[in-house]
């Protein structure tokens, strides 16, 4: 509890903000410590406080056109606005996306759906220079438009809806701990041995060189499925081996597919 009010302190569960704060932000008592207070926590504790639910891939609506859009250009204010404005004007919806700055480059990857009648106009609005069809069936090009999108590379791939196969197994897996080469490989090696399919996987690296904990922290969460029932006991043994060999925390929650 706060020293001078009735509001409790809570711990943020985002990987980059594990510090106690007052719910109201108006406490008169001692301020939350400015330095990181979880500098010495172990991998298991980090896994618990940073765990988040990872959702399955979006459902494909057969009545709309679905696209995988990838854009890369020089990082500058207004880049995302310029892209999403064009999507909005063509009545597009964005179901999932990832946008990140890497050096001087800004990259967008997103799943977009639009009315079929808007597809050609969308291609033209994203790139004034006609996009060229590649051997893989996607459309690619470089924007010659003046402004924030000048020189941006664009790739647009139409996704064909398919009927989903019945899932007899579904689980969420988390891995957290000091960053080491090969963590993703060792985990996916175990999943591949059980013929498990990764439907959604995301990772983050929390750079901790500025704090008392000198090792960077690696976070992974993924959703795995299968059309058959894997050997769950052998799968858990493999996850425990990763924990023992690499000093990380690795856990798995099985999802009840009968309710999905």
Last residue of a domain, one of 127, 159, 191: 159
Quick check: is 57 in a domain? Answer: no
Strand partners, 142: 153
Q: What pTM does this model have?
A: 0.72
Q: Are residues 243 and 191 in the same domain?
A: yes
Quick check: is 60 in a domain? Answer: no
Q: Are residues 175 and 252 in the same domain?
A: yes
Q: Are residues 152 and 219 in the same domain?
A: no
Domain that holds residue 18: 1-37
User: pLDDT (tens digit, 0 to 9) for every residue of the chain, 260 residues total?
Assistant: 444 444 343 333 444 443 434 434 444 444 444 444 444 455 555 555 555 667 778 778 889 999 999 999 999 999 999 999 999 999 999 999 999 999 999 999 999 999 999 999 998 888 877 788 888 888 898 888 888 998 999 999 999 877 767 888 999 999 999 999 999 999 999 999 999 999 999 999 887 655 565 788 999 999 999 999 999 999 999 999 999 999 999 999 999 776 55
Q: Strands (DSSP E) along the chain, which ranges? A: 9-11, 20-22, 65-74, 93-102, 105-114, 132-133, 139-142, 153-159, 169-178, 197-206, 217-226, 249-254
CA distance linking residue 49 with residue 222, whole number of Å: 16
Domain count of the fold of the chain? 3
Quick check: is 50 in a domain? Answer: no
Q: Are residues 69 and 146 in the same domain?
A: yes
């Amino acid at each position: 509890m706060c020293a001078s009010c009735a509001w409790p302190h809570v711990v943020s569960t985002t990987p980059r903000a594990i510090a106690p704060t007052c719910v109201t932000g108006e406490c008169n008592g001692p301020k939350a410590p400015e330095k990181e207070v979880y500098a010495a926590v172990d991998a298991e504790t980090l896994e618990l406080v940073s765990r988040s639910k990872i959702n399955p891939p979006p459902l494909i609506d057969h009545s709309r056109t679905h696209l995988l859009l990838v854009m890369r250009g020089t990082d500058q204010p207004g880049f995302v606005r310029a892209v999403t404005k064009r999507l909005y004007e063509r009545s597009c919806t964005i179901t999932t996306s990832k946008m990140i700055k890497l050096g001087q480059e800004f990259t967008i990857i997103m799943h977009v759906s639009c009315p079929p009648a808007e597809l050609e106009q969308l291609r033209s609005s994203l790139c004034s220079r006609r996009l060229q069809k590649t051997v893989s069936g996607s459309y690619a090009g470089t924007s010659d438009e003046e402004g924030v999108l000048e020189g941006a590379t664009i790739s647009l791939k139409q996704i064909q809806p398919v009927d989903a196969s019945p899932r007899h197994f579904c689980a969420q897996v988390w891995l957290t701990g000091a960053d080491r080469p090969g963590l993703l490989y060792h985990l996916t090696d175990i999943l591949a041995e059980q013929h498990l399919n990764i439907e959604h996987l995301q990772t983050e690296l929390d750079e901790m060189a500025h704090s008392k904990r000198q090792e960077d922290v690696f976070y992974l969460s993924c959703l795995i499925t299968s059309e058959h029932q894997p050997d769950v006991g052998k799968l858990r043994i493999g996850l425990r081996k990763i924990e023992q060999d690499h000093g990380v925390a690795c856990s798995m929650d099985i999802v009840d597919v009968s309710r999905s």
